[in-house]
Amino acid sequence: MRAPFALSWLTSQSSLQTCQDERTALLRENSRRQALFDSIQYAGQLAHGQQIISTQQQRIHDLQEKMVRDSLQHLSELDALGAIVDYVTPKNTVGSRRDSRRQR
């Protein structure tokens, strides 16, 4: 009776080793797939972050352009007011705006 027991034991050991090998292969495959999934997920998050950064940079650029336009418009209004003051002020008055511009 020892022969069938030994044969049974060898067969079960062989089956056990095969199962362990399959489990190891499946775990490797699962790890590889999980790493791929994680890299795709993180790439998507990075792309979304880059999109937000680009949008904010464009908004900053637009606000800077608006600030420059508003500043130029304000200067144009000041120049227009200065021209009106120069036109209204008598030409031979001391301390007129024209005299102050010449001194600068």
What's the pLDDT tens digit per position in 7-23?
Answer: 676 677 788 888 899 99
pLDDT in tens, 44-77: 999 999 999 999 999 999 999 999 888 878 888 8
68: left (phi over 0), alpha (psi -120 to 50) or beta: alpha
| pLDDT value of residue 92 | 65
Tell whether the model's pLDDT for residue 37 goes beyond 70. yes
Q: H or E segment at 86?
A: helix 2-88
The pLDDT value recorded for residue 104 is 47
- Delimit the domains of the chain by residue range: 2-91
